[in-house]
Structure 1
Amino acid sequence: MSKPNVLVGMSGGVDSSVSAALLLEAGFNVTGAYMKNWTLDVPGARCPWADDLAFAKRTAVRLGIDFRVYDFQEAYKRDVVDYMVAEYAAGRTPNPDVMCNQDVKFGLFLQAAEEENFDFIATGHYARTEWNALEGTDALALPQPDRHLLRAADTHKDQTYFLYRMTQHAIDRTIFPLGNFTKPQVRELAAERNLPSANKPDSQGICFVGEASIRHFLRMYVETKPGDIIHAETGKKLGAHEGAIYYTLGQRKGLNLSGGPWYVVGKDMDANVVLVSESKESLERGEREVALDRTSWVAGSAPAPGRYLARTRHTGQLTWGNLEAHDSEATFTFEEEHERVAAGQSVVLYDGDICLGGGIAR
């Protein structure tokens, strides 16, 4: 039986580098691949794509594997960047990483791998499935269809929140080599193998924004105008803002108001008004019921009505509640008081360790 062929998405970082090394050692035929998604500089920051590509190439040379580059910039701009800008313009709080995973990494990248007859793709995400590919490539150990997407062993690094829109087909064809490791262990594995990225810092924030602020990025695409910052309880004007689009629910920094601390508790995009309060109660005691649309379920259909765990942000606490789902919409009702969920935010559902999918808060 020939060795399975796997195409590993290599970003130049330590996680994907170690993933490629571990799969090679487990007996796979490994090919590295860099996805060129975004190359434009943002005011205040240089896009590091060339540096990342150089790290990925050096890692491939170090491992002695083939390497290729895929240019997904057009689709990335359309499906990820334009999506994020449109959501902010509508007063919502999007998560572009979720859409990048859905449309690019486990969409276009998987499609390219299948067209080139790879058996699997792999990434450096912290997530698991029932099949541990690192235990060997024996034909009898190859995964069966309809595997589950499982939370990573490292609960702090678990990234299933960002992966919940993966299809069943994508999960069946994807390997997550790091699912049973912690971040410190991955760093140790990289150092032991003398990988170029062993001490490379992790990327922070939205990948295409980099070290620049989201405000500077949005200015490239959206025309804004100043407006009023209003006290939510009294209706009194407290200050001015540069554009309501720049503010998100729960934000504290950048308000330039005396007194406080002040929290953004709402905004009116039509009136270009930002509402603030000195009290966190309006945030911490949000509506228990959250309406979701644009739902995506791993199994292809919604889970049965019932009691499940939910997460409303990456590394956020898992909270019990009840789900009712119909077609592309759903309602999730938290059993206890829960912080308000901003419109545009993803709510991801779990049955124990199994990630079921989720939807986007209205």
Structure 2
Amino acid sequence: MVVSYSINEIKAGCTPNPDMMCNSKIKFGAFVDYLEAKYPTGTWDRVASGHYARIRQTEGGERVLSMSRDERKDQTYFLASLRTDQLERCMFPIGCFAKDEVRMLAQKFELATRDRKDSQGICFLGKVDFDEFIEKHLGTREGLFVEDETKEVMGKHRGYWFHTIGQRKGIGLSHGPWYVSSKDVENNIVYISKNYHNEVRERSSFLCSGFNWIAGITAPQAKGVLRCKVRHGPGMYECKFTETEAGGMARVDIKGKDHGFAPGQYAVFYDDDICIGSAIIRSMPEPLASKAPPRDVS
């Protein structure tokens, strides 16, 4: 399930988030379903996870997802695809601690994980190289690296699916640094630029769909000024959420600018420190540089 989702998104030229899929479908989905089927009601309470997040209870008795005390390590971004009923079945014991405090407690109680480094990469891959994983499922197909501004062909790549928007490492071209600015999936072209962080590429809005509202929130209630994250980390924007006339789509305008929006990426919404849901970024205004046909100067 997680693998097929990731491959399908990558093949479509999008940026998948397998961690979110794994949390909603496996850790707090299939695993909890298995427990409920195997063990009688009342023999267990909830599934505890090591995510940096908190569960709070409203005055009405509803459980809501809240940011952890350590906002630098907060992981509610990865939990925003959970359903409200899944929140009822989980708990996050370390969400009220800072990361350093968790390390100290692990040392104090001589836990086996006390010296383990923070997890990196994609969990289901283990030690498998990501490019090897992609090649196994999608193979290779030679395509062109094209400079976004000049439309000059700068080199060749093994397939657009090996590259993501904003990528710098792994392009392998001289006279850089080069960044992936966009992809033409149909023609297998990867557009690159040395001016990726230029203000002309910054965006302040995007369209999204595939909403998952938690904490009893619905789309109409999400209208107005909220906060949102467009990637894991402490960075957050004030934003305005507006439903569009297009079926199932909404427009999000952020207070500020960001050059890192990519189709397939998740946007996660907050009301103060309460995570109220997520959506998938689908598109954003076209960059000023037009996608004219590449010009081969070799």
Alignment TM class, shorter chain as reference: 0.7 to 0.9
Is it true that 1:297 corresponds to 2:213 in the alignment? yes
**Structure 1 Cα separation of the partners of residues 199 and 21 of structure 2:** 26
Query: Could you say which residue in structure 2 is the equivalent of 1:320?
Result: 238
Is it true that 1:124 corresponds to 2:50 in the alignment? yes
Amino acid at match of 2:181: V
**Which runs of no fewer than 5 residues in structure 1 stay unpaired?**
1-78, 132-142
- Within a 5 Å distance, the mapping from 1:278-357 to structure 2 comes to 278-281=194-197, 285-298=201-214, 299=216, 301-302=218-219, 303-325=221-243, 328-357=248-277
Deviations 1:192-230 (A, max 9, x none): 112222222333200122344321111111122111100
SS class of match (1:361) = strand
Amino acid at match of 1:91: G
Amino acid at match of 2:268: V
**Structure 2 Cα separation of the partners of residues 192 and 333 of structure 1:** 46
| 8 Å CA contact 2:73, 2:234 repeated in 1 | no
Amino acid at match of 2:183: K
Change (3 A) 1:337 1:201: closer
**Structure 2 Cα separation of the partners of residues 343 and 161 of structure 1:** 17
Query: Could you say which residue in structure 1 is the equivalent of 2:74?
Result: 158
Amino acid at match of 1:96: P
The two structures, once aligned, show a CA RMSD in angstroms of 1.9
Q: TM-score, normalised by structure 2?
A: 0.86
- Within a 5 Å distance, the mapping from 1:193-208 to structure 2 comes to 193-208=109-124
| 8 Å CA contact 2:71, 2:234 repeated in 1 | no
**Structure 1 Cα separation of the partners of residues 200 and 30 of structure 2:** 39
Number of aligned residues: 273
| 8 Å CA contact 1:309, 1:352 repeated in 2 | yes
**Structure 1 Cα separation of the partners of residues 255 and 270 of structure 2:** 15
- Within a 5 Å distance, the mapping from 1:34-113 to structure 2 comes to 79-113=1-35
Query: Could you say which residue in structure 2 is the equivalent of 1:221?
Result: 137
Q: 2:85 aligns with which of 165, 169, 174?
A: 169
Deviations 1:37-68 (A, max 9, x none): xxxxxxxxxxxxxxxxxxxxxxxxxxxxxxxx
**Structure 1 Cα separation of the partners of residues 188 and 234 of structure 2:** 30
**Structure 2 Cα separation of the partners of residues 286 and 325 of structure 1:** 23
| 8 Å CA contact 1:149, 1:354 repeated in 2 | yes
**Which runs of no fewer than 5 residues in structure 2 stay unpaired?**
283-298
SS class of match (1:130) = strand
Which segment is superposed worse, 98-107 or 333-342? Answer: 333-342
Amino acid at match of 2:129: S
Q: CA deviation at 1:232?
A: 0.6
Q: CA deviation at 1:328?
A: 4.2
**Structure 1 Cα separation of the partners of residues 10 and 237 of structure 2:** 27
SS class of match (1:82) = helix
**Structure 2 Cα separation of the partners of residues 106 and 192 of structure 1:** 29
Query: Could you say which residue in structure 2 is the equivalent of 1:236?
Result: 152
**Structure 2 Cα separation of the partners of residues 144 and 81 of structure 1:** 39
